[in-house]
Amino acid sequence: MPSSLNDYLNKLTPQEKAELETFAAFLIARRGLRSSAILADEIPSAELMALAMQSSSFDWLADADEDIYGPTDGGEATWLRE
């Protein structure tokens, strides 16, 4: 049974070594983010709304091709009663 990290590394395939290298880079990058992490709860709603409006993420909603339903589409909703 391997007794050290080097023993484990020597048993890995090249693909597994590449995956491990990527994961190690992620861990190191995450270490730097812990102190400056921003939670959504800390951002005011108005600021989030302004960001959404300034980005082009929701531009597709203004496309006329997206208006596929009209007032006569569908039917009255019926609710199941127990």
- Model pLDDT for residues 7-22, shown as the tens digit of each residue: 989 999 999 999 999 9
Where helices occur in the chain by DSSP H, the ranges are: 5-10, 14-33, 45-54
Which pLDDT value is given to residue 13? 92
Q: Which residues of 15-43 are buried (b: 16+ CB within 10 A; e: fewer)?
A: eeeeeeeeeeeeeeeeeeeeeeeeeeeee
pTM of the model: 0.37
- Model pLDDT for residues 42-78, shown as the tens digit of each residue: 778 888 888 888 888 888 888 888 788 888 888 787 8
Which pLDDT value is given to residue 15? 92
